[in-house]
Amino acid sequence: MINIENIKSVKKYNWDTDWNYQVELKSGGTSGVPNDTNNIDCLVVLEWSEVDGNTIADAD
Amino acid sequence: MPLSKIQTTNNQVVPNLGRRNIIINGAMQLAQRQGGALTVGVNNTYCLDRWKFYLNGSCAASTQKLPATDSNVSSLHTASGQTFSNVMSIDCTTAATLGSTDLLGVLQLIEGANSVPLAGRSCTLSFYVKTNVTGQYYVTFKIGSGRAYIAPYTVSSANTWEKKTITLTMDTLANLNTSGSIATGAGFQVYFGLRLGTSSQTSSTINAWHDGNFYGTSSQVTWGTNTADTFYMSGVQLEIGDTATDFEHRSFGEEEALCQRYFETGTFSQRISGTLVRTGQSYMTTKRSTATVNVYYDSNKAAAGTINISNSADAGWAEGGNVNFWNMEKNTGSDHNGRDYNGFFTAEAEL
């Protein structure tokens, strides 16, 4: 489970027909979180994105 | 087995056996994340498989899957009359007086579809517990933050295994659907509390369903005021009916597959060519939902997104997948013909 306090940045990643979140963690490393609100980490990412100053970067 | 559990079907005597336990990993056999290591408990994270640790306040504790050779496991054999392989331990590492917002406990979230058969039915929770802190504890059955049923139990003797049994009527299907899930989301939650500050206490009647987000009353004993405090638990079973039957020992493979629906870890080893590389593999078990995927260089799982390519750490891998498989992708920028790709992965689809 991703701790919201441990999220450094988030960007979308294209997988051809779909995309997900690549979450850079303050503790190091990058976690692949699905764009699926049934996934509890996705809910954490969306909660993080609603905090002022936090932005989800578009896919490259 | 009591005579009341013997059922008659078409003049055949059929014992009420098999597939009774709704709890997964009730015998504490699996700890894919931490193995057998004593591990610092972090709030709202999973420790042993399917068991989530809750911690708020100044108290701190570690959790561990104790092995069969541990004296706390062997003593359970004598107390229960059954042979268990493992026990969950919670050890206090930082003692603290009780704060108003304190919470400490472990819980299991039961998937909505698995909760449905219990809705409106008489159900029985049974478990074995051993702690040095005697007094009144609570097990709380919760549906999201909207509904709660607070059931007390008392630990009578210090450092002695005791079997506890709680029988209740589960909440209605309508309430389960409104406050929880009847599909792949979280249905019921079974919460075992060790500390409880005033902000999560209720004065409502216990042993009844109420609206609200409560975990117990002011009668909850405060565990964790001494670093010598320990709490051991195993043989957790929740079943339909008003009688606690003997613990249902499922095979390890069955239990492992049940856990892997929510969390799976494994290794990969492939030989790959090309510059824009995408690879991955199928899960052993289909996941509850699309999983969070991490790939790692080695078993330490230090930093996700880094794998082992020909014995060198290679960072910058994007991770993805669905309910059936995980994959990873990277434009390596160079020809990787015939390179060996190795590493570890985790896939998490917990409730």
pLDDT at B13 over 70: no
Chain A touched by B346 (CB under 8 Å): no
Question: Which residues of chain A make contact with B351, given a CB cutoff of 8 A?
Answer: 40
Tell me which residue in B290, B306, B329 faces A34 most closely, judged by beta carbons: B290
Q: How far is A30 from chain B (nearest CA, A)?
A: 5
Chain A touched by B320 (CB under 8 Å): yes
The answer to whether B318 contacts A1, with C-beta atoms less than 8 Å apart, is: no
Mention every residue, 6+ apart, whose C-beta is less than 8 A from residue B331. B275, B276, B277
Mean pLDDT of B233-261: 96
Question: Which residues of chain A make contact with B112, given a CB cutoff of 8 A?
Answer: none
Neighbours of A60 (CB within 10 A): 10
Token representation of residue B258: 């049940």
pLDDT of residue B2: 56
Tell me which residue in A15, A34, A38 faces B185 most closely, judged by beta carbons: A38
pLDDT at B78 over 70: yes
Please indicate whether residue A23 or residue B276 has the higher confidence score (pLDDT). A23
Tell me how many residue pairs between chain A and chain B have CB atoms under 8 A apart: 73
Question: Which residues of chain B make contact with A28, given a CB cutoff of 8 A?
Answer: 302-303
pLDDT of residue B264: 98
Q: Structure pTM?
A: 0.94
Contact B60, B41 (CB under 8 A): yes
Tell me which residue in B45, B184, B304 faces A31 most closely, judged by beta carbons: B304
Mean pLDDT of B235-248: 96
> Which residue does chain B place closest to A33, by CA atoms?
B292
pLDDT of residue A17: 82
Chain B touched by A20 (CB under 8 Å): yes
Nearest to B151 by CA among B221, B233, B191, B207: B207
Half-sphere CA count of B169, side-chain side, radius 13 A: 7
The answer to whether B318 contacts A25, with C-beta atoms less than 8 Å apart, is: no
What's the CA gap between B269 and B344, in Å, rounded?
Answer: 9
The answer to whether B320 contacts A38, with C-beta atoms less than 8 Å apart, is: no
pLDDT at B290 over 70: yes
Chain A touched by B319 (CB under 8 Å): yes
Please indicate whether residue B8 or residue B64 has the higher confidence score (pLDDT). B64
pLDDT at B237 over 90: yes
Grade residue B11 by pLDDT with cuts at 50, 70 and 90.
low
pLDDT at B263 over 60: yes
pLDDT of residue B182: 97
pLDDT of residue B204: 83
Tell me how far CA of residue B171 lies from CA of A29, B146, B190, B237, B314, in angstroms.
42, 12, 13, 18, 51
pLDDT at B346 over 70: yes
Q: Which helix (H) or strand (E) segment is A43 a member of?
A: helix A40-49
What's the CA gap between B106 and B67, in Å, rounded?
Answer: 19
pLDDT of residue B1: 53
**Which tens digits make up the pLDDT trace of B125-168?**
999 999 999 999 999 999 999 999 999 999 999 999 999 999 99
Chain B touched by A44 (CB under 8 Å): no
pLDDT at B3 over 60: no
Mean pLDDT of B46-73: 97
Rounded mean pLDDT of chain A?
Answer: 95
pLDDT of residue B4: 52
pLDDT of residue B16: 55
Nearest to A32 by CA among B287, B296, B313, B284: B296
Mean pLDDT of B298-320: 94
pLDDT at B12 over 60: no
Mean pLDDT of A5-25: 95
Question: Which residues of chain A make contact with B319, given a CB cutoff of 8 A?
Answer: 22, 30-32
Question: Which residues of chain B make contact with A1, given a CB cutoff of 8 A?
Answer: 44-46, 348, 350
> Which residue does chain B place closest to A28, by CA atoms?
B303
Grade residue B10 by pLDDT with cuts at 50, 70 and 90.
low
Q: How far is B349 from chain A (nearest CA, A)?
A: 6
Nearest to B146 by CA among B216, B75, B213, B233: B213
Mention every residue, 6+ apart, whose C-beta is less than 8 A from residue B181. B111, B112, B115, B187
pLDDT of residue B131: 98
Rounded mean pLDDT of chain B?
Answer: 94
Tell me which residue in A3, A28, A32 faces B292 most closely, judged by beta carbons: A32
Mean pLDDT of B199-208: 91
Question: Which residues of chain B make contact with A18, given a CB cutoff of 8 A?
Answer: 320
pLDDT of residue B203: 86
Chain B touched by A37 (CB under 8 Å): no
**Which tens digits make up the pLDDT trace of B97-124?**
999 999 999 999 999 999 999 999 999 9
The answer to whether B292 contacts A29, with C-beta atoms less than 8 Å apart, is: no
